[in-house]
């Protein structure tokens, strides 16, 4: 009971520190030029301070080092924070002076190497259903780097509306915290405490970031949150199983879906994978008539659905999990085609269903093919 009360106090202090630091970071952002000016690809109509994630990083890191490393004995915490610092510095430089994708990838990769070699966090074995445990061997390092890069960039790409990336991160981290506490043996409780500490830091920043925002996360914050989510998820993947791998992927279903379909869309349009566009999930919802706040809340609802599915997967059998994954993928594909995320004319599943259910339509298609 005493430790629970102390933990609640620490969470409150973390949230309070983040709330106090955010206005100070806002002033700092203007001084160092970490601002987001209106532009063709921007939602904002006036110059906005970015790098708001610096408040989240500082409040989480200070209390984590001050309290949790000694009380909880999380020996690799300092190395995790070192990796996070590299990512934050990379994001801060990008917020001040825009980096190219290769430079940002280099920063995240360096942080990933710190996590793998010094913090000793990464993939080691993988359990395949109906086959058994497989030693990953030399693939351990590249798989760890790819995992961190993919999730970090996925969270960064979803950061397009006020409060979107911060809210998605809160939902994802709450789900991860619950799964860590109830389903991960060993240091699951320690991991859950650290996760909820990060949530508290985001909550302190969130009122400044929700629509209408007075400060943005910036790459400083979006990359940091994505990186920490990736690292926390890897804590449960040291001896990865099908469910343990699918769980964080479903928890981050919204940003991962947006990233995957962005890559598919750019492939069809013969564009570079890293080339920017205004066809992301939040852009499509806005183009369909959603208000700024309405689009954000809709994506929150989607994130909650994915998180609920992720929780169910930890109770379901292997076959039930496979069916759950397949049904979710089909439902998501239908939604993606309805909003035109890949393109308004690219609707293979819907056209296929229309083809099956309409004999006249099928005959017209066949006649066109003959011609």
As annotated, the binding site includes: 156, 219
Distance CA 34, CA 218 (A): 8
Nearest Cα residue to 129 out of 20, 25, 240: 240
**Feature table: binding site for Mg(2+):** 156, 219
Parallel/antiparallel/unpaired status of strands 48-49 and 132-135: unpaired
User: What's the Rg (C-alpha) of the chain?
Assistant: 21
Do the beta carbons of residue 288 and residue 341 sit within 8 Å? Answer: no
Distance CA 173, CA 312 (A): 16
Distance CA 174, CA 192 (A): 9
For 168, residues 6+ apart whose C-beta sits below 8 A from its C-beta are: 155, 158, 254, 255, 299, 300, 303
Does residue 329 have a cis bond before it (omega within 30 degrees)?
no
Measured CA to CA in angstroms, residue 173 lies from 165, 195, 231 at distances of 12, 6, 12
Per this entry, what is the length of the chain?
A: 371
């Amino acid at each position: 009971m005493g430790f629970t009360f102390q933990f609640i106090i620490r969470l409150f202090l973390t949230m309070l520190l983040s709330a106090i630091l955010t206005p100070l970071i806002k002033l700092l952002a203007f001084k160092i030029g970490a601002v987001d000016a209106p532009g063709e690809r921007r939602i904002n109509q006036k110059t906005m301070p970015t790098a708001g994630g610096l408040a989240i990083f500082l409040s989480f890191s200070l209390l984590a080092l001050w309290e949790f490393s000694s009380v909880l004995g999380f020996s690799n915490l300092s190395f995790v924070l070192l990796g996070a610092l590299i990512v934050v510095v990379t994001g801060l430089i990008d917020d001040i002076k825009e980096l190219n994708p290769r430079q940002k990838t280099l920063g995240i990769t360096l942080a990933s190497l710190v996590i793998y070699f010094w913090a000793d966090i990464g993939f080691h074995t993988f359990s395949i259903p109906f086959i058994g445990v497989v030693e990953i061997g030399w693939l351990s390092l590249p798989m760890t780097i790819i995992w961190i890069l993919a999730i970090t960039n996925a969270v960064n790409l979803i950061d397009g509306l006020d409060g979107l990336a911060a809210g998605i991160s809160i939902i994802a981290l709450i789900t991860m915290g619950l799964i860590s506490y109830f389903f991960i043996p060993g240091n699951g409780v320690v991991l859950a405490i650290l996760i909820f500490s990060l949530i508290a830091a985001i909550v302190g920043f969130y009122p400044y970031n929700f629509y209408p925002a007075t400060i943005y996360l910036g790459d400083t914050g979006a990359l940091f949150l994505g990186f920490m989510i990736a690292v926390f998820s890897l804590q449960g993947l040291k001896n990865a199983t099908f469910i343990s791998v699918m769980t964080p992927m479903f928890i981050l279903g919204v940003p991962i879906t947006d990233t995957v379909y962005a890559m598919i869309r750019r492939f069809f349009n013969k564009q570079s994978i890293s080339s920017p566009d205004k066809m992301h999930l939040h852009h499509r919802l806005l183009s369909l008539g959603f208000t700024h706040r309405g689009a954000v809340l809709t994506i929150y609802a989607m994130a909650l659905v994915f998180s609920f599915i992720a929780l169910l997967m930890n109770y379901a059998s292997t076959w039930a999990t496979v069916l759950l994954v397949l049904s979710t993928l089909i439902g998501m594909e239908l939604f993606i085609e309805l909003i035109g995320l890949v393109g308004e004319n690219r609707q293979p599943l819907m056209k296929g269903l229309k083809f099956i259910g309409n004999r006249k339509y099928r005959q017209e298609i066949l006649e066109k093919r003959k011609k």
